[in-house]
Structure 1
């Protein structure tokens, strides 16, 4: 399980860093083409919107997998022992339910419904934008299963921020 988590972490880190670097380059090109060349790029703004959606959703999946997401710990901080572990598992199960129904199922439906529509400036199917939803949902589910496995295997060890 540790190797699966490390591999997934590396892939997501590489993806997010690459997209972010590409966004910086494209945004720089937008500024140069607009103010220096006096001929603004028509594709760059659309690309930046498109890539920001992908970057945000994949980064959210990564943060949820690391259990570093924003959470209210008013109740869980007062629990200890088996109750704390049960609450941590329940929280992971809620994440799985959200990811499965909203991101995976809903995202797949949105992707299929918009695959025939074309994103005007980029000339790619709009479904590719919505594809980020089921992809991030699948990543969240994998991470939550890994988190549950960690919680069950080592109940004395408390990984990251308790949710």
Structure 2
């Protein structure tokens, strides 16, 4: 297992749409293990394959008691109730901002063997799913902010990188 290099904002790969995983093999299992190692080393509570430059629909999320790997995830249901949560990205370390998300989601995904699974999530886990699935769809988290907040965030990030 290895810690992979994380690409940084404003790399255009962070705005690219990830392709579905079609092969469920040893290479995918190894990549998933590397993605988990990379997430913990970052440190982060979620990471996608695009964060390490791989345009595949693979997500790792730290779920406290255990870590989850989600292949080809999609949100199939979302509550009308919304919550606000502070978010950031392993590709844009050092800056965070509050984002509004659905309070509850139902996610369909495949496990590492290709079996279809469903997960109901609320609170922080629901936020993580929405954040990471947005990333797979080429929507970087800060694009959910108003233009003014996004511009301020980028200035703060650029200042922190000097």
Which interval holds the TM-score relative to the shorter structure?
under 0.3
Larger radius of gyration: 1
Structure number with the bigger relative contact order (C-alpha 8 A, sep ≥ 6) is 1
Q: Give the structure with the higher percent helix.
A: 1
Task: Return the structure number with greater strand share.
Answer: 2
